[in-house]
Amino acid sequence: GQSLEQPSEVTAVEGAIVQINCTYQTSGFYGLSWYQQHDGGAPTFLSYNALDGLEETGRFSSFLSRSDSYGYLLLQELQMKDSASYFCAVGRGSQGNLIFGKGTKLSVKP
């Protein structure tokens, strides 16, 4: 079977740091990605980890440990606009098809 687990909700205050964890169990693995989706909007790509380690893009960083089937998204210097749902997704095949986790709703408070 295939499953991705991530927390359903996280709340944090402006300026803080938050980490969203993702564990996965899939039949194939072609990297771990993170997507952001605001209410009513389309998902947008944030990051991609093919190999173990940390990838940094501005305020966002993503980490992968393939041996632990685990990754996380780290958001620093939180802003109100970061309030959204964040999905981890595993690449499953050579065509780039993705299996998404259930999403983590992040609420940033003043």
Partner 1 sequence: GAVVSQHPSRVICKSGTSVKIECRSLDFQATTMFWYRQFPKQSLMLMATSNEGSKATYEQGVEKDKFLINHASLTLSTLTVTSAHPEDSSFYICSARDQESGNYNEQFFGPGTRLTVL
* CB nearer to partner 1: pick between 53 and 93: 93
Q: Which of 3, 25, 27, 44 binds partner 1 (CB under 8 A)?
A: 44
Q: Which of 42, 58, 81, 110 binds partner 1 (CB under 8 A)?
A: 42
Q: Whole-angstrom Cα distance, residue 39 to residue 31? A: 26
Closest approach of partner 1 to the CB of residue 60, in Å: 14
Judged by CB under 8 A, does residue 28 bind partner 1? no
Q: Are strands 3-5 and 18-25 parallel, antiparallel or unpaired?
A: antiparallel
Judged by CB under 8 A, does residue 87 bind partner 1? yes
Look at residue 37 and give its three-state secondary structure. Answer: strand
Find, among 63, 73, 102, the residue nearest to 12 by Cα. Answer: 73
Closest approach of partner 1 to the CB of residue 45, in Å: 5
Closest approach of partner 1 to the CB of residue 108, in Å: 18
Find, among 55, 59, 12, the residue nearest to 33 by Cα. Answer: 55
* Binding residues for partner 1 (CB under 8 A): 30-33, 41-45, 48, 50, 87, 89, 91, 93, 95-103, 105
